[in-house]
Amino acid sequence: MDNALIQRLVYEGNMQLPKNQLVKLTWGNVSMIDRVKKVICIKPSGIPYKKLSPVDMVITDLDGNVYQDQLKPSSDLSTHVYLYKHFPKVNSIVHTHSLHAVVFAQAGKAIQPYGTTHADTFYGPIPCARNLTQQEVEQNYELNTGKVIVETYQSQNITPDAIPAINTKNHGPFIFGTSVKQAIEHTIVLEEVAEMALKTELLAQQNIPPIDQFLLDKHYYRKHGKNAYYGQ
């Protein structure tokens, strides 16, 4: 895959965010990694979506070093680089400040699996990482954001394969996929189930049990794994 095609895929992924009302202004970004070619491509920093073109997408090496004569990359680049290094099956990452997902990020709460819409994509609660310390914020903030995400997955013994999204406390979600297309789909589903979970909690006004484990299993595994049967 040449750089022009990578830039086209990343551009198209980024354009899906405002199209699906997942970002406002310049909030959010999409990246992808080509592990064979050993490059990462990410949206440039602070440019309105309407002014972007494929050639504006920034190409870096696997350590986030920008190739010459390009725009400044997203400020979240260090987070993406760290996550790619620690999640070898992830080939695309999305970050947004979508409304309902961020509500849970600001509350510091996991998004619980209350129904089958959630279970179709996320095999359990979508976690929220811990607060960063003052030192972690003031020194290498974006890198430390990646570190606390990895820490959360490891401490909860979960993987981006089964739970392809996580919230960062007081900030917002990072979403994963094996391709740009899949990462965008996971981002759309995340915002939808976050809204559903919030309204479920508001309506019930009490502790709500999560979906039965057997129903969670049924819906997740009919789409994922060797015995999946959903789709053509």
Q: Is 25 exposed, middle or buried (0-12, 13-18, 19+ CB in 10 A)?
A: exposed
Distance (Å, whole) CA 49 – CA 118: 29
Residue tagged active-site, from 61, 67, 217, 230: 230
Residues 129 and 166 sit within 8 Å (Cβ to Cβ)? yes
Q: Is 63 a catalytic residue?
A: no
Question: How many contiguous H segments (helices) and E segments (strands) does the chain have?
Answer: 8, 6
230 is catalytic: yes
Instruction: Tell me the residue type at 57.
Output: M
Instruction: Answer yes or no: are the C-beta atoms of 168 and 150 closer than 8 Å.
Output: no
Among residues 56, 120, 161, 221, the one annotated as catalytic is: 120
**Angle between helices 180-204 and 99-107 in degrees, nearest 10:** 60
CA distance 199 to 193: 10
Q: Which residues are catalytic?
A: 120, 230
